[in-house]
Amino acid sequence: MFKVEGMDCSGCAATLKKAVERMPGASDVAVSLTKETMTLLLDEGATDIAAIEKKVRQLGFQPQLSFRPAIAASGHVHRPDCSHEHAARGNADPKVVPASTFSDRLVWELEGIDCKSCAATISHALQRLPGISNVQVSVSNETLTLGLDERSTNTSAVEAKLNALGYAARRVGLATQGNEGESSPAPVRRWWWQSPKARIAATAGMLLVAAYLASVVFPPLSNWAFLLATIACGSRCLPAPAPRWW
């Protein structure tokens, strides 16, 4: 079973089901919009789990393997239509075991994120890295939360990608579990003057004061001083540069 995020309508569920059914070795695909889950039977000799997750991500959804059936030592997967008695052969019906593909959800504090476009850029870039799932970027809290399989991508690679996008990242810990098992970012204590918007406001104020003093000392330069102050303040408000496509 996969937990799938990003489905908003029955059309999304139908698109996902149809695409996965076309993959070799995938059968009995069932997608639940209300539960945000996808279940299927998979012959991993034809298509592995990583290929399924890649296909789901290409469709714009975020998959996470939540559990999978245990497989007997002989490699036989027990099904209701098997022609032999499982208990008699010493192979009782398998229990469902939790998947341990991903570690706990990690949280980073971000600097330089000011709008939803910044959040979308970060989310899109990180989703392309292997071993990353359930990317959540909060503009209001200035945090990044994600599930990470460090066998594929480590935390240093995540931070390097964020730095390449123009954002400063500082890991602050693990996400906490809510009452219904949903994770939420660990609270980050930050004083109001430490926020990027406060720094921009402080910089703008100092530049305008400097421009005013310059106009008092040498009035002919007043217009140029205020123009330079406005340009400097505006440059601090520009979003981080978008990643290059080449």
Burial of 173 (0-12, 13-18, 19+ CB in 10 A): middle
Which residues, 6+ apart, have CB-to-CB distance to 40 below 8 Å? Answer: 20, 26, 27, 28, 29, 30, 52
pLDDT in tens, 197-245: 677 777 778 877 887 887 788 777 777 777 877 777 666 555 544 444 4
Structure tokens at 139: 């503009």
Whole-number pLDDT of residue 19: 93
Query: For residue 136, what are the contacts with CB-CB under 8 A and spacing of at least 6?
Result: 123, 144, 145, 146, 185
Domain positions in the chain are 2-98, 105-184, 192-237
| Range 105-184 has CATH code 3.30.70.100 | yes
216 is written with which tokens?
Answer: 């008092």
- The per-residue pLDDT for 151 is 80
pLDDT for residue 101: 44
Query: What's the CATH number for 2-98?
Result: 3.30.70.100
Domains 2-98 and 105-184 share a fold: yes
According to the model, what pLDDT value does residue 88 have?
Answer: 46
Q: Return the closest-CA partner of residue 151 out of 102, 108, 104, 105.
A: 102
